């Protein structure tokens, strides 16, 4: 059992959320190399979670280049490890790289939830080329 003290001047607790997440990403990559891919599936899922959170945090503060970098990594990670969040990741990647195209796409399509149902207020039909 270990014990530690959390205080504002600490090496870890003094870091902001993005810095802690970036350090975790480095650690997971080191673990993957050390274990020679033995736990790669688990590690990739955790990395995907971190990439998604980092891309959102960087978008919020207006650092779109960093957001794009993490969206790219999340997209690559999602398609290499599988998972059920691919569509959401693709939409986020599109939004970060091509905002005007993403807006046009959003306006032209109906948004459905995970079970294929339309959320309230989205009962209209998608606009076509007409």
pLDDT at 111: 52
- For the chain, percent helix, then strand, then coil, each to nearest 5? 60, 0, 40
Looking at the predicted structure, is the pLDDT value of residue 89 above 70? yes
What is the model's pTM? 0.65
- Cβ 93 vs Cβ 75: under 8 Å: yes
Q: What is the mean pLDDT of residues 45-59?
A: 91
**Helix H or strand E segment including 105:** helix 99-108
pLDDT at 128: 43
pLDDT at 123: 47
Between 97 and 126, residue with greater pLDDT: 97
Please report, for the chain, the start and end positions of each structural domain, with discontinuous segments joined by +. Answer: 17-108
């Amino acid at each position: 059992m270990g014990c530690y003290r959390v205080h504002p001047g600490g090496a870890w607790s003094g870091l902001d959320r993005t810095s802690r997440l970036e350090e975790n990403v480095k650690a997971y990559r080191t673990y993957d190399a050390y274990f020679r891919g033995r736990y790669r599936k688990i590690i990739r899922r955790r990395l995907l979670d971190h990439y998604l959170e980092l891309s959102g945090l960087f978008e919020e503060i207006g650092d779109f280049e960093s957001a794009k970098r993490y969206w790219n990594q999340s997209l690559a990670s999602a398609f290499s490890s599988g998972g059920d969040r691919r569509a959401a990741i693709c939409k986020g990647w599109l939004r970060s790289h091509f905002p005007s195209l993403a807006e046009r796409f959003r306006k032209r399509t109906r948004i459905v939830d995970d079970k294929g149902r339309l959320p309230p207020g989205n009962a209209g039909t998608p606009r076509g080329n007409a």
